[in-house]
Amino acid sequence: MRTCRIDQSSMIDCAAFDPDTSILCIRFRDSGIYFYFDVPEELFDGLCRAASAGTFFNDRIKDRFRCERDPESRRFRPDG
């Protein structure tokens, strides 16, 4: 399992990637943890290096891969 912390992003807290299963796990600051399936490892590397992780996510990952919300993760917002 590879991980990276994304300190400069207001949207994403951290990400993890399992190269054996090609599952990308992203912890969003406001909405919890999501799993993205069949993601190429290069996209994880790009996310970790991106000047803007949120923009990279929106342009290259969001709505391009099957995803599931972690049922154990809790929303961090008061209305969550």
Tens digit of each residue's pLDDT (9 = 90 or more) over 13-56:
999 999 999 999 999 999 999 999 999 999 999 999 999 999 99
Q: Is residue 78 domain-resident? A: no
Task: Give burial (CB, 10 Å; 0-12/13-18/19+) of 56.
Answer: buried
What's this model's pTM, rounded to 2 decimal places?
A: 0.88
Is the pLDDT confidence value at 78 over 90?
no
Which pLDDT belongs to residue 55?
97
Q: Is residue 11 domain-resident? A: yes
Which pLDDT belongs to residue 79?
47
Q: How many domains does the chain have?
A: 1
* SS3 assignment, position 33: strand
> ∠ CA(67), CA(69), CA(70), 5° rounding?
125
Q: Is residue 79 domain-resident? A: no
Which pLDDT belongs to residue 80?
45
Q: Is residue 76 domain-resident? A: no
Q: Is residue 75 domain-resident? A: no
Q: Rounded CA gap, 17 and 78, in Å?
A: 29
Name the residue with higher pLDDT: 49 or 74. Answer: 49
Q: Is residue 44 domain-resident? A: yes
Q: Is residue 77 domain-resident? A: no
Q: Which domain holds residue 21?
A: 2-69
